[in-house]
């Protein structure tokens, strides 16, 4: 059975993620389910897109990535199946799959085949009634080509990409705050470190950070620093403390980078 990964904003307080697993296992009992993350900030499609993009390449081809961050559930937005790079992605057509849609050969299908859904589809829980059973049926051998018609206008988000605002200035944002309170930006560390001949400075709110460290342990106590994180993006961090709490910043907070 292929691997099915789960990425949602459901959290651990409610049974929603567990119910989706129950649906999957009822249809494909041998499925291997991996909880990628259920702590996406509620309704934050951009954050989910960022986390998906950092995660899916580490899974084997044939994996199915089930992503449910769906503030438009019950609306006219389409349920989507994307085939790209030997992987399958299932979720709402709300920009969540922007990154994979840019991959060469990516194909999108509007999930319309009701054989893939539960008998009674609610207006408020498509994760349970549409997306989870569709992922399970495909894991059990249902042909993706029969899931629905090809579409060529799947939504691709244009927001959330860094902007150049001057010769030495760039505007970005906090894309994710991890469990340790590290502020992970959407600024590619290799790109901007290559531009910096002498140094760089990143502003978060009223705080300017110009110290660059190679690891968390190199950061002096009670002082923020920048590191090139394992995700490939610049992070604002403290040593064994939360940068998010110390700086009062969270997902979507704007940052400004200056290089010289």
pLDDT at residue 157 in the model: 86
pLDDT at residue 158 in the model: 78
Residue 183 β-bridge partners: 177, 236
Burial of 233 (C-beta count, 10 Å sphere; 0-12/13-18/19+)? buried
Residue 151 β-bridge partners: 108
pLDDT at residue 140 in the model: 97
pLDDT at residue 256 in the model: 97
pLDDT at residue 195 in the model: 86
Assign a CATH topology to domain 163-259.
Elongation Factor Tu (Ef-tu); domain 3 (2.40.30)
CATH fold match for the domains 3-151 and 163-259: no
Consecutive sets of 10 residues in the chain, 260 residues long: mean pLDDT of each? 96 97 98 98 95 97 98 96 98 97 97 97 97 98 98 88 92 96 96 88 95 93 94 96 96 95
pLDDT at residue 254 in the model: 96
Domain 3-151 has CATH 3.40.50.10790: yes
pLDDT at residue 197 in the model: 79
Map the chain to HEC letters: CCEEEEEECCCCCCCHHHHHHHHHHHHCCCCEEEEEECCCCCCCHHHHHHHHHHHHHHCCCCCEEEEECCCCCCCCCCEEEEEECCEEEEEECCCCCHHHHCCCCCEEEECCCHHHCCCCCCCCCHHHHHHHHHHHHHHCCCCHHHCCCEECCCCCCCCCCCEECCCCEEEEEEEEECCCCCEEEEEEHHHHHHHCCCCEEEEECCEEECCECCCHHHCCCCCCEEEECCCCEEEEEECCECHHHHHCCCCCCEEEEEEC
Domain ranges of the chain: 3-151, 163-259
């Amino acid at each position: 059975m292929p691997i099915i990964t789960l990425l949602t904003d459901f959290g651990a307080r409610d049974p929603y993620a567990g119910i989706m697993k129950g649906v999957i296992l009822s249809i494909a009992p041998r499925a291997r389910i991996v909880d990628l993350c259920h702590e996406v900030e509620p309704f934050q499609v951009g954050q989910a897109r960022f986390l998906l993009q950092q995660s899916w390449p580490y899974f084997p081809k044939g994996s199915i990535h089930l992503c449910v961050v769906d503030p438009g559930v019950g609306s006219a937005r389409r349920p989507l199946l994307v085939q790209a790079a030997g992987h399958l992605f299932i979720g709402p057509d709300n920009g969540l799959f922007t990154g994979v849609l840019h991959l060469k050969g990516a194909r999108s299908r509007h999930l319309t085949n009701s054989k893939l859904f539960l008998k009674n589809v609610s207006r408020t829980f498509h994760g349970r009634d549409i997306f989870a059973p569709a992922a399970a049926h495909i894991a059990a051998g249902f042909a993706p080509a029969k899931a629905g018609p090809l579409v060529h206008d799947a939504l691709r988000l244009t927001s959330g990409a860094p902007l150049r605002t001057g010769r030495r200035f760039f505007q970005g944002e906090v894309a994710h705050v991890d469990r340790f309170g590290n502020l992970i930006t959407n600024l590619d560390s290799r790109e901007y470190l290559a531009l910096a001949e002498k140094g760089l400075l990143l502003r978060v709110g009223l705080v300017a950070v110009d110290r660059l460290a190679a690891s968390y342990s190199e950061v002096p106590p009670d002082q923020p620093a920048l590191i090139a994180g394992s995700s490939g993006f610049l992070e604002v961090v403290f040593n064994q403390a939360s940068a998010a709490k110390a700086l009062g910043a969270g997902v979507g907070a704007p940052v400004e980078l200056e290089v010289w």
